[in-house]
Amino acid sequence: MNDSAGWASPGSTPADSSDPTTTPAGPPPAADQPNQPGLPDQPDQPGVPDQPGAPDRSDKGGQGDQADAPPAPPTPPTAPVPNVPPVPPNWSPNQPPPGRWNGPGTPSGTSSGPVPPPPPPPAPGYTPPPSGYGNGGWGAPPPQGWGWSGVSGQGPGPVPPWRQAPYAPKPGVIPLRPLGVGEIFDGAIATMRIHWRTVFGISLVVALLTVTASTLVNGFFFDHGSGVDALRSTPDPTLHDVVHAAGDTLAGGLLTSVISILGQIVATAMLTMIVSRAVLGRATDANEAWRDARPQVPRLLGLTLLLPLIASAVLTVSVAPGTAVALLGNGDAGTGFIALGILVGTVVAVWLLVSLCLASPALMLERQGVLTSIARSFRLVRGTWWRVFGVQLLSVLLTLVVTSIIGIPFSMVASVASGGGTTGWPYLIITGLGTVVGATLTFPFSAGVSVLLYLDQRIRKESLDVELIRAAAPTRPTG
């Protein structure tokens, strides 16, 4: 039972008797408790001796000794009353009658044992969450705004403050925490959906310029008797004709590649700025994106040209031993070494390109140089190479699928319009339109995946989410 002052077990008496064996099992008579008003007289219980000083209740006249009194008639047996500890002297003399306290669900008149103490009051300042909120773990709806939510996976009902799970704020297109692969792709698509005017406007302008220039170059270099077509129309070409045709083909291909690289660099630089602002929930127009990206465009051009040179150098070094063996006269062994060198060089080149894939967003967003950005990309990718490789590979595959789905109908129409050939202005113009549509859709996606993958790696390795949360917080006026 509760052993606190002011409370005693039902049926107990004050423990001021020197002999515990003389303690009655039930409440004492009213005569022995002059300070307990309101308690009725209770009959004697068998087997309990009278207390010293108590009057002889069997003598109606109040005279004679107890031994001379006639024996009391036998009383029916009653249920035994459990022994309870004596009541301390400092307890209240007014105790509740026995057999009156029942627990929940206990029939009336049946004692249910000790009554549990009431629950402690809540801590000062604690406000319970709204009812019905907190079921479902991370899938539960977040609170209004963004911050920390009271989400718990322990079932319905109010969530205690010590079991609240953190909720990542999402001021923009992604939640500010380590991202999954689907969240990276969803963030890139969300940027295209929310900021579609700026994103598709930049992509469309860049794609139109690059495709138009490439179409003109291809039309003049690979048509009207230039390049490979010149060899086809010559029945017995000379060495001069072959060299001239090869030179024209290489010049046209190089010029087309330079135009495409320049357009890709400009689009990547501007879209990187737009995606980085979209993460914080801020909109950016084309002028602001170009103003922020323009100082880093020359460095981005150098980085873009350096990466293919690194891969080409790796492949050249890997096939050099086999080429040397073949030149020394052992053709079969040289061919085997060359094949092995190509395989090893390809593996090393892929490893290098994946390790350097975050150099471009690092250069643009951290305002670093080319070599510093390369070192930053190595550090960010280290330890998670396979994950970065998987994300980039999936992004490339999705880009190729979209480009093919869009380009195949245009190629079929162009082939019909040009009479079944693959040259001529009708073919170049129609396929160029398909290239413009495909580039307009894929430029923002590829740039968004690269930027979000870079931010995800920095969040995982450098806790960048803390800085992003601080940067995304609304500014409060001072004073």
Per-residue pLDDT, 415: 87
Per-residue pLDDT, 7: 40
Cross-strand partners of 151: 165
Per-residue pLDDT, 149: 37
Q: Is the predicted pLDDT of residue 217 greater than 50, yes or no? A: yes
List of residues 6+ apart from 391 with CB closer than 8 A: 181, 184, 449, 453
pLDDT, mean of residues 7-23:
41
Sign of the torsion angle spanned by Cα atoms 200, 201, 207, 208: positive
Q: What is the mean pLDDT of the chain?
A: 74
Q: pLDDT tens across 257-289, in order?
A: 888 888 889 999 999 999 999 999 998 899 999
pLDDT, mean of residues 153-158:
45
Per-residue pLDDT, 91: 64
Could you tell me which residue, 14 or 298, shows the higher pLDDT?
298
Per-residue pLDDT, 26: 45
Per-residue pLDDT, 74: 60
Could you tell me which residue, 259 or 364, shows the higher pLDDT?
364
Instruction: Kindly report the pTM of this predicted structure.
Output: 0.62
Q: pLDDT tens across 319-334, in order?
A: 998 888 888 877 778 8
Per-residue pLDDT, 32: 43
Could you tell me which residue, 122 or 341, shows the higher pLDDT?
341
Per-residue pLDDT, 405: 94
Could you tell me which residue, 399 or 39, shows the higher pLDDT?
399
Residue 224 structure tokens: 């009207």
pLDDT band for position 419 (50/70/90)? confident
Per-residue pLDDT, 33: 44
Distance of alpha carbon 367 from alpha carbon 184, whole angstroms: 23
Residue 145 structure tokens: 């705004």
Cα–Cα nearest to 248, from 226, 223, 217: 226
List of residues 6+ apart from 119 with CB closer than 8 A: none
Written as one letter, the residue type at 310 is I
DSSP sequence for 404-415: HHHHHHHHHHHH
Q: Which of 245-249, 283-287, 382-386 has the lowest mean pLDDT?
A: 245-249
Compute how many other C-beta atoms are within 10 angstroms of the C-beta atom of residue 328. 10
Where helices occur in 234-330 by DSSP H, the ranges are: 239-279, 286-293, 297-327
Q: pLDDT tens across 93-147, in order?
A: 666 555 544 444 444 444 445 555 666 666 565 555 444 444 433 434 444 434 3
Distance of alpha carbon 227 from alpha carbon 233, whole angstroms: 11
* E strand or H helix at 164: none
Distance of alpha carbon 17 from alpha carbon 243, whole angstroms: 128
Could you tell me which residue, 124 or 50, shows the higher pLDDT?
124
Residue 336 structure tokens: 């085997």
Q: Which of 159-168, 335-344, 444-453, 470-479 has the lowest mean pLDDT?
A: 159-168
List of residues 6+ apart from 192 with CB closer than 8 A: 199, 200, 444, 445, 448
Could you tell me which residue, 375 or 40, shows the higher pLDDT?
375
Per-residue pLDDT, 1: 43
CA 217 to chain centre: 48
Which SS3 state, helix, strand or coil, does residue 205 take?
helix
